[in-house]
Structure 1
Amino acid sequence: MIDGKAVIQISVKGKIQLKDESEAKTLSHFAGDWSLGPSTSYMLLFERKQLGTPIETSEASFLGKVLFAGVIEEGSLLEFINFLGENNRSGVLVVVSDGVKKSVFFKEGQIRYATSTDPDDRLGNVLFRYGMVEKDKLTEALSDRSRRLGEKLVQMGVLGISDLYRAIKAQVEEIVYSCFLFTTGSFYFYELATTASLPSHLHLATRNVLMEGVRRMDEMSYFRKKLPGAEVVPEVLKDATIDNLTKQESGILALIDGRCNLEELSRKSHLGVFDTTRIVFHLMQGGIVRLKSTHSMANEASGGEDNIDKLLTAYNQVFHLISAKAEGFTPKLQRDLEMFLHKLDGELAVLFSGVVVKPDLTIDPAQILQNMTRLSDRSSVFSLVYKALDEIFYFLLFSAGISIDSAVETDLQNTIRQLTKQG
């Protein structure tokens, strides 16, 4: 089966050429006339118009029999993987969506291995997410190209063989679980010329993987109502009643310090993002922890000029975005913002004194940094600047009568969290 080796390029004028001429021999086996059959934006199907020259068996190692192909719809991959398991199929399921390709290897209906072009699915990233390897050791191991990453880490004494097995198992499971979330794209299943080429060092019961995948999908959608992403920061409530906790809940609770987000907690606990999210959710339900607000993080951040400058840069990017989205209304918004700043009082009036609003609605950081020297109390200057910029942000949205993608607000919160950690 040709699997991503021979790459052809189709120009905007419809002309086809081979990107790597060294693969011409592979495609020469398919010489002849072909017509384009039913296709999708992810996959092209070509039908032979005339019988070609039979391919010699000795040269057929790249061939595979495509048995099934289709378009991904919600839930379709769950059903198809269940079909492969129930019918004891051997071969490779390839899933393509949004430029990402994931391959799941089956032998007699059981999952044996999985690969992915998504960098997040690489073994090194999985090891880091689960807190099994630190960055410096990972970098050192990756620098040795003579050995596979897992083998090198075992040789270095960073991992034991049981640790490596657990990591590879988690990697394969996460790749399969992520396939269930695809709602667009295409898939195809093919048999290899020989099953000897199927990886066999893992053996995952397909039925169990399916059941766990469905459970995770259902529970994560429920958890996300209170924990919208892995970047949120939980903190322990004062005077919380703590009793009847499981070992895992007690372990996570001991790690919650009001500074680590869910992703960092999952790394420290070695539990992964899903189980960490589940445990923090249960602790929230029990009234033991809550999510730390952006304002409280801002109050803890360092008031140094470098942090203030980074905060202003982040908000200026958003102000520029609002300007572009408002189009012809920008001059009016510029005047409205100038009036808004003019009416500030107290320390905010000092902080924004003489600040110029540019035509793209961005403001000059240099003037604000200069005004900081005039403040009587600089201990909470970061919080002061943050609250003012946040107020400007929502004022501009109100004045323009527009909305901004929620991802923009999430990015701002992430910036504040990072600056808080630096402080």
Structure 2
Amino acid sequence: MKQTSIDSSGRLALPFYAAKELGGRSLELASHSPGHLLVIDPENKVQMAGRLGDVALVDLMSFFNMFRKTGVLSLELKGGRKEVYFKLGEIVFATSTFAEEHLCEILYDQGKLDRDALHKARQLAGSQVQIGKCLVEKKIITAKDLWLASRYQVEVSIYNLFLANEGSFYYEEREVEEDQAVRLSTSTQNLIMEGLRRIDERALFMRQIRSLETIPMPTEKEAANLSEQEQSMLEVIGRGRLNVKSVLRRSGVAELDGLRLLHQLVGKGLVRIEDAPSFAIGGDIGEMLKVFNGVLVLLYRRIAENNPRFNDELRNFLRAVPSPFSYVFRDVALLDDGSVDGGRILANLAGLEERDKKKLLAEALSELVYMECHAARRDLGSAASAELLQRVQEIPRRIKNILERKS
């Protein structure tokens, strides 16, 4: 969280993103002490704000439920934002900017969309509610598919919230539109209890599985008395060296259910867990990644200092980038320093000729750099971004030299 201070004249310098949202509004000093300052817009109905960690999420949800609150709890978390909608104390809806919780990703994980349909759905304009309705109208999915996926999306978004231990929140009174409400399969109190149980259960499974990037491998032991889901997952594992995340996706099960199945297969001695291979990417591809990642780290660090929501923008950009770049960035996550995962990109490029790999990689990463340059001008201003953009101008020449080398 960006720090600021009050100068000797009583002026408070706000970060860019806060000044942009609050600029031009009449603000009122609501409360202060030696340890805090609360300034509000009198016309806004924000009733509560704070930091996660100081206040437990479970306590917040229980409070809203106990006092039958109607409004929206907004959370700024590491890597994204979420909103949880309450109506008379019950959770009825939730939104998320996390890519894995997008409605299209949920439908893909449930086997309702294939990769091509997923890519087309991502490019549909509008909210997730509008995208869902469009998919039904085009008969890509059924109305029942949409209802089940929407309900699951809200529930998994809530359950994943219990893993967050840092961030900020605010709550405001607001009526919930009827078309936003989703009929969940359980009450808010049961959601809270289930969320806490899932944290404990996931921790148990991950002690054995270690990471979603580890590689499950079949053993020589003969399988017997397996459930249909266990047998299906074992068949997926036997088809090749896939990481845990890919196994869960191809098995068509939710993450926690999939981890439970994998934990059972390991316990029966049918599967062993191997560490993900670590390797340095060499050659021209490795050099290109090094060049691009160098400037991506620099841009990300400077922009994120002024705009903590920049990570959301990047995730949305990678999710919505058009073909053929979408294949380069498929399942690619930005690392904490703003660089891209070269190993994942290399896996996505598998099967292409070396020359085509380099050309497509250069074009895709150039798109990402261009997007970040635009953000730098917007968030840092022309003067502050000038030095950064000058560094970026060196990239085309260096990449061109690599592309023109003879293999």
What range describes the TM-score normalised by the shorter chain of this pair?
Answer: 0.5 to 0.7
| Equivalent position of 1:285 in the other structure | 267
Cα distance per residue 1:28-82 (max 9 Å; x no partner)? 5xx3664773699xx972168xxx8xx6xxxxxxx4251x333211881012212
Change (3 A) 1:165 1:195: closer
From 222, 232, 256, the equivalent of 1:251 is 232
Write the distance in 2 (CA, Å) between the matches of 1:99 and 1:143. 22
SS at match of 2:111: coil
Write the distance in 2 (CA, Å) between the matches of 1:205 and 1:39. 40
From 96, 108, 114, the equivalent of 1:116 is 96
* Structure 2 residue identity aligned to 1:37: H
TM-score by length of 2: 0.60
From 166, 173, 190, the equivalent of 1:208 is 190
Instruction: State the shift of 1:222 in Å.
Output: 1.6
Instruction: State the shift of 1:125 in Å.
Output: 2.6
Please say if 1:276 is aligned against 2:269.
no
Change (3 A) 1:97 1:20: closer
* Structure 2 residue identity aligned to 1:103: E
From 69, 76, 89, the equivalent of 1:96 is 76
Cα distance per residue 1:239-275 (max 9 Å; x no partner)? x132222222122112212322222222222212221
Q: Residues 150 and 182 of structure 2 are in contact (CA less than 8 Å); yes or no, is this contact kept in structure 1?
A: no
Instruction: State the shift of 1:280 in Å.
Output: 0.7
Q: Structure 2 stretches of 5 or more lacking a match? A: 295-334, 354-407
Matched positions, count? 298
Q: Residues 29 and 38 of structure 2 are in contact (CA less than 8 Å); yes or no, is this contact kept in structure 1?
A: no
Please say if 1:158 is aligned against 2:140.
yes
Write the distance in 1 (CA, Å) between the matches of 2:154 and 2:145. 14
| Equivalent position of 1:227 in the other structure | 209
TM-score by length of 1: 0.58
Change (3 A) 1:210 1:146: closer
Cα distance per residue 1:289-326 (max 9 Å; x no partner)? 1124557x99xxxxxxxx86378659989xx9xxxxxx
Structure 1 vs Structure 2 CA RMSD: 4.5
Write the distance in 2 (CA, Å) between the matches of 1:290 and 1:254. 14
| Equivalent position of 2:200 in the other structure | 218
Bigger radius of gyration: 1
Please say if 1:309 is aligned against 2:300.
no
From 136, 143, 150, the equivalent of 2:116 is 136
Q: Residues 50 and 170 of structure 2 are in contact (CA less than 8 Å); yes or no, is this contact kept in structure 1?
A: yes
Q: Structure 1 stretches of 5 or more lacking a match? A: 1-8, 56-62, 299-306, 321-404
Q: Residues 65 and 190 of structure 1 are in contact (CA less than 8 Å); yes or no, is this contact kept in structure 2?
A: yes
Q: Residues 75 and 180 of structure 1 are in contact (CA less than 8 Å); yes or no, is this contact kept in structure 2?
A: no
Q: Residues 69 and 88 of structure 2 are in contact (CA less than 8 Å); yes or no, is this contact kept in structure 1?
A: yes
Please say if 1:262 is aligned against 2:257.
no
Structure 1 residues 273-282 or 144-153, which shifts more?
144-153
Please say if 1:37 is aligned against 2:11.
no
* Structure 2 residue identity aligned to 1:259: R
Cα distance per residue 1:10-43 (max 9 Å; x no partner)? 999944699899989x955xx3664773699xx9
